[in-house]
A and B are shown apart, each in its own frame.
Chain A
Amino acid sequence: QVQLVQSGAEVKKPGASVKVSCRASGDTFTSYYVHWVRQAPGQGLEWLGVINPSGVNTIYAPKFQGRVTLTRDTSARTVSLDLSSLRYGDTAVYYCAPAISRGGWFDPWGQGTLVTVSS
């Protein structure tokens, strides 16, 4: 089974960009879609987007279109989330989560990365 380990916490200023990475272990990583979900403090879960197994295709939530970019480095077994033009409301824990199929469930989730936007 694939396991995902995320990069460490980040503190960014408003207007800056942040990159969160997710590194995989396990032989079947190249078979998985990887989704990104965030959770603001005390709030629910919000889906940002998905990248397909080859890394060629991405789908983003309309709310984040233009600010989010997902990339995949298959040789490095890493998937990354870039979020630009950060706002205070982007303060959240960001999770990567694999799915074996496009309409499939997310399992297992990465441990989460706290991104804090603060001046």
Chain B
Amino acid sequence: DIQMTQSPSSLSASVGDRVTITCRAGQSISDYLNWYQQTPGKAPKVLIYAASNLHSGVPSRFSGSGSGTDFTLTIRSLQPEDFATYYCQQSYITPYTFGQGTKLETK
């Protein structure tokens, strides 16, 4: 299985801040890397697919980059609705695996 390691596991920030979450794959996954946002009690929603593509309807303050083994999710100018848990996921090879999650909390 490909291990996906996110950092940090939790992050405190304020509205208006710029935050970056990183995700490292245990082997190269090309650009088969997706980012999801999950709020309590809700199903995850895709934000970024194929490493750097913004999903339809997702605000442009979200961006993704990387390829191979190292990836980042950046949120420029945090909004109140962005405080949630974020997961990376590789869809390069089964079993598809997720990072452990990054919980973004209000400072």
Interface residues of A (CB under 8 A from B): 35, 37, 44-47, 50, 59, 61-63, 95, 97, 99, 103-112
Contacts and interface: CB of A to CB of B under 8 A. Distances in A.
Contacts of B78: none
Interface stretch (B11-19, B68-76, B97-105): B97-105
B87 A45 contact: yes
Contact of A47 (B32, B36, B98): B98
Given A45-B44, A110-B43, A103 B92 contact: yes
Contact of A104 (B1, B91, B94): B91
B87 A44 contact: yes
14 contacts: A44-B99, A44-B101, A45-B44, A45-B98, A46-B98, A61-B94, A61-B95, A95-B44, A97-B43, A103-B91, A105-B55, A106-B36, A107-B49, A111-B43
**Which size class do B's interface residues fall under?**
20 to 34
Contacts of A35: 96
A110 B43 CA distance: 7
Interface of B: 1, 32, 34, 36, 43-46, 49-50, 55, 87, 89, 91-92, 94-101
Contact of B94 (A59, A110, A111): A59
Nearest to A109: B43
A109 B94 CA distance: 19
Contacts of A111: 43
Contact of B49 (A46, A95, A97, A104): A104
